[in-house]
Amino acid sequence: MTPAITYADFTKVDIRIGQIVEASDFPEARKPAFRLKIDFGPEIGKKDSSAQLTKRYRKEDLIDRKILAVVNFPPKQVANFISEVLVLGVDDGSGGIVLLSTENPGESPLGSRMY
C-alpha cells in the first residue's frame, strides 16, 4: 500500500498544463522514448522532457497535444539529455503509457495549475 500523504504534501507538487511543441527521437535513452519540448505559457516558458511514449504515440501525433506535467522536480539527466519536467501518464496494462490531459484542453490556458 502507498504511504499516506497530507494535503500540504500534495500542494507541493506543481502540476501544470503544457502543450507539446516539438517531439523527436531519443535513440540514446535506455528505454524507448521521445525528447519533448513543452510550452507552459509565459510564466514558466518552454521546458524539455524525456517521455516513454513510443509504444502508443507517433511523434507527429504529439505536436500541439495538451498534457499535464510536474514542473517543480529538479532537472534529471537521462542519457545525454536534461529532462526538466515530468510528463504524467498511466500504464495501459500492456507496457504503454497513456498521457494524462484535461477534459476540455481549450478552456484552460497554458501553465494553468492543477488543484
Mind listing the pLDDT tens digit for each residue in 25-80?
A: 999 999 999 999 999 999 999 999 999 999 999 999 999 999 999 999 999 999 99
Confidence of residue 17 (pLDDT cuts 50, 70, 90): very high
Q: What is the pTM of this model?
A: 0.93
Q: If you search the block for the grid coordinates 511523434, which residue do you land on? A: 59
d(CA 113, CA 115): 6
Residue 98 near residue 88 (C-beta atoms within 8 A): no
Q: What is the pLDDT of residues 86-95, one digit of tens each?
A: 999 999 999 9
d(CA 79, CA 34): 12
Fold that domain 11-103 belongs to in CATH: OB fold (Dihydrolipoamide Acetyltransferase, E2P) (2.40.50)
DSSP, res 61: H
d(CA 18, CA 68): 6
